[in-house]
């Protein structure tokens, strides 16, 4: 019998790519999403890729009674991957209570239901943002967690602590995955990132500028202490990232975990500057992107990239896709979006 996996936030960017990889690996997937930052059409897009329509339920995890009744009729779930969360850094600074309420309450309700169900396997979606501005690069899982610079980032830190505390007194086994910078889209061009309004992140801004939805890309700061003066990040293909979730679940199901909570960095281990990303995008897609240099963006750290040795040895996972593949898939997705792929 296939393991049944609940994916919260399964119609979102990383969630949808993970659902595809889970189905390809033989897992049966159920999605919960409140569609606050995604579209239900993604379920059909997933089916177009894998030939399997995932079971979909529109539920906000903060609605405890709705969640309970969902679990009453789905009491045979073997594992959960918890993506559902609000994730815009700037928005979290403007609306901290909404962020704390949503991201913390969702996890608390979920853990509460899982305990009743005796479902003990959870993979949690965290972020390299917990490391802030690291003193030493690359960043290992043992690097200090510093005071969060935004409510969003704080919710990730607190959620990690909630999982630690609950794991201490229950049979819960958890894998926390700290993502670096996920970019790109599925090679089919059928699913990808769907930013609402003006994108905050670099690659959607580049693709939207290239297609003409945005006028000019602003490069935030070219006076950092880096080789070309722009910030360095560890960009990782979203499909590589999705596959790491499958490896994490397999580790839990195979009982290979060495402690109740394990934490892994997910990146490529290599950093690229904003200009390197921009130049590679132009080259691989043979298109020019209008850009200007502007002030540093508040809160940006000069450079972050991961040490990924732990994921390699324990999860037996390594990112394989190049920056070129990330940026050509992102462009294919943007072109498909502009041709109305989600309306077809
Ligand atoms: N950048 C620009 N212009 C833009 C957008 C971004 O120059 O229009 C630069 C940023 O200044 C930064 C780099 O591109 O140097 C990457 O920025 P992103 O916004 O794409 O990514 P971040 O590293 O800021 O964000 C990542 C994750 C977030 C997470 C955040 C926490 O993508 O989900 O780290 O710091 F919340």
Tell me the best of 233, 234, 241, 280 to mutate to test the pocket of ligand 1, counting ligand atoms within 8 Å of each CB and taking the most: 233
User: For 242-272, how does the pLDDT look when each residue is reduced to its tens digit (9 = 90+)?
Assistant: 999 999 999 999 999 999 999 999 999 999 9
Q: Which residues are catalytic?
A: 152
Tell me the best of 9, 291, 297 to mutate to test the pocket of ligand 1, counting ligand atoms within 8 Å of each CB and taking the most: 297
Alpha helices in the chain (DSSP H): 13-24, 41-50, 64-73, 89-94, 96-117, 151-169, 202-211, 238-253, 274-285, 309-310, 323-338
Ligand 1 centre from 274 Cα, in Å? Answer: 9
**Cα–Cα distance between 124 and 263 in angstroms, integer?**
9
**Cα–Cα distance between 67 and 65 in angstroms, integer?**
5
> For residue 344, what pLDDT is reported?
65
Counted residue by residue, the chain has a size of 344
Ligand 1 centre from 286 Cα, in Å? Answer: 24
Q: Which residue owns the Cα nearest ligand 1 atom 15?
A: 231
How, if at all, do strands 235-237 and 272-273 pair?
unpaired
- Angle of helix 274-285 relative to helix 202-211, nearest 10 degrees, comes to 40
CB-defined site of ligand 1, < 6 Å: 87, 89, 127, 129, 152, 181, 200-202, 205, 217-220, 231, 233, 274, 297, 300
> For residue 299, what pLDDT is reported?
85
Contact 106, 8 (CB under 8 A): yes
Contact 305, 267 (CB under 8 A): yes
3-class secondary structure per residue, 296-311:
CCCCCCCECCECCHHH
Q: Which residue owns the Cα nearest ligand 1 atom 27?
A: 181
Ligand 1 centre from 20 Cα, in Å? Answer: 26
Q: Which residue owns the Cα nearest ligand 1 atom 36?
A: 89
Domain annotation for the chain: domains and CATH numbers: 4-343 (3.40.50.720)
**Which atom of ligand 1 is nearest the CA belonging to 274?**
14
User: For 311-321, how does the pLDDT look when each residue is reduced to its tens digit (9 = 90+)?
Assistant: 999 999 999 99
Per-residue pLDDT of the chain (344 residues; tens, 9 = 90+): 899 999 999 999 999 999 999 999 999 999 999 999 999 999 999 999 999 999 999 999 999 999 999 999 999 999 999 999 999 988 999 999 999 999 999 999 999 999 988 899 999 999 999 998 899 999 999 999 999 989 999 999 999 999 999 999 999 999 999 999 999 999 999 999 999 889 999 999 999 999 999 999 999 999 999 999 999 999 999 999 999 999 999 999 999 999 999 999 999 999 999 999 999 999 999 999 999 999 999 889 999 999 999 999 999 999 999 999 999 999 999 999 999 998 76
Q: Which residue owns the Cα nearest ligand 1 atom 16?
A: 202
Ligand 1 centre from 203 Cα, in Å? Answer: 9
> For residue 102, what pLDDT is reported?
98
Instruction: Write phi, then psi, for 93 (nearest 5 degrees).
Output: -70, -35
Ligand 1 centre from 342 Cα, in Å? Answer: 26
> For residue 343, what pLDDT is reported?
77
Tell me the best of 152, 204, 220, 306 to mutate to test the pocket of ligand 1, counting ligand atoms within 8 Å of each CB and taking the most: 220
């Amino acid at each position: 019998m296939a393991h049944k996996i609940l994916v919260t936030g399964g119609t979102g960017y990383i969630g949808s790519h993970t659902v595809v990889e889970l189905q390809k690996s033989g897992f049966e997937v159920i999605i919960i999403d409140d569609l606050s930052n995604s579209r239900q059409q993604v379920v059909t897009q997933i089916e177009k890729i894998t030939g399997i329509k995932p079971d979909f339920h529109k539920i906000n995890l903060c609605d405890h009674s709705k969640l309970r009744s969902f679990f009453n009729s789905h009491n045979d779930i073997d594992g959960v991957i918890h993506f559902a969360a609000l994730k815009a850094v700037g928005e979290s600074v403007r609306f901290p209570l909404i962020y704390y309420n949503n991201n913390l309450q969702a996890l608390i309700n979920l853990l509460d239901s899982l305990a009743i169900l005796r479902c003990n396997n959870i993979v949690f979606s965290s972020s390299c943002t917990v490391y802030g501005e690291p003193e030493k690069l690359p960043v290992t899982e043992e690097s200090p967690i510093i005071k969060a610079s935004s409510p969003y980032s704080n919710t990730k830190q607190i959620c990690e602590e909630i999982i630690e505390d609950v794991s201490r007194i229950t049979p819960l086994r958890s894998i926390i995955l700290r993502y670096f910078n996920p970019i790109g889209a599925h090679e089919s061009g059928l699913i990808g990132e769907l930013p609402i309004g003006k994108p905050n992140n670099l690659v959607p801004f580049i693709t939207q500028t290239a297609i003409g939805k945005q006028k000019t890309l602003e490069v935030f700061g070219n006076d950092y202490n880096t080789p070309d003066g722009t910030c360095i990040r560890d960009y990782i293909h979203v499909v590589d990232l999705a596959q790491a979730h499958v490896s994490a679940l397999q580790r839990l199901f195979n009982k290979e975990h060495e402690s109740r909570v394990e934490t892994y960095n997910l990146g490529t281990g290599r950093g690229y500057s904003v200009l390197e990303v921009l130049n590679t995008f132009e080259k691989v897609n043979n298109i020019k992107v209008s850009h200007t240099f502007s002030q540093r963006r508040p809160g940006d750290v000069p450079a972050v990239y991961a040490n990924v040795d732990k994921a390699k040895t324990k999860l037996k996972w390594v990112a394989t896709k190049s920056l070129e593949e990330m940026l050509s898939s992102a462009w294919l997705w943007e072109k498909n979006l502009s041709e109305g792929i989600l309306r077809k």
